Amino acid sequence: MYFDVHPTRPGLCRRMSRTVFQGPFFELQFPSDWEHEIIENIPCFFDPDAGWVLQLAASTSPHGNFALDSEMRTYLEHNQLEFQDDRVVRYENAAGLECMACEFMKDNRFWLVQMLARGPRLLVALLNSDQVPDADLAGEISGTVGSIRFTD
């Protein structure tokens, strides 16, 4: 089994109850009122009464480290979008992972792609929504993606 889900330990919660999801080399905390399924080995997190899904794709390279600029460019071009440097945000998360993010509208849907990497491991977090997320959902998504850390 690649994935494991369990409630957070006391003290890890801030404003809401969160659940820990353990992937093959990463873990994250997501709001306990979200549902999740694993579809074709892709963890999907969602609210069944809303029109969005957060999907996570994990990959390990046998050929060395991932270059996030190249990975983001390839992802966007594959989706017929132009890579525009001023539309991409680069940052390091609290766990010290190298990250890139880009949001866009396509086919009347909002998309947010975030890539997190360390060495030969890459995690792609993809939000697909009927509309631009409101402040509450944006905060929940940000908190969830911000909680990602790679495990050894």
Q: What is the pLDDT of residues 45-103, one digit of tens each?
A: 999 889 999 999 999 999 999 999 999 999 999 988 888 888 899 999 999 999 999 99
pLDDT at 7 over 60: no
pLDDT score at 2: 36
pLDDT at 8 over 50: no
Write down the pTM of the prediction.
0.87
In this structure, is the dihedral angle defined by the CA atoms of residues 90, 96, 97 and 101, taken in order, positive or negative? Answer: negative
Instruction: Report the C-alpha gap between 124 and 113 in whole angstroms.
Output: 7
pLDDT score at 124: 97
pLDDT at 14 over 80: no
The overall average pLDDT reported for the chain is 88
Percent over 90 (pLDDT), the chain: 80
> 116-132, pLDDT tens digit by residue?
999 999 999 999 999 99
Q: At 144, is the secondary structure helix, strand, or coil?
A: helix
Segment among 1-5, 26-30, 103-107 with least mean pLDDT: 1-5
Write the secondary structure of 14-67 as one string of H (helix), E (strand) and C (coil): CCCCEEEEECCCEEEEEECCCEEEEECCEEEEECCCCCEEEEEEEEECCCCCCC
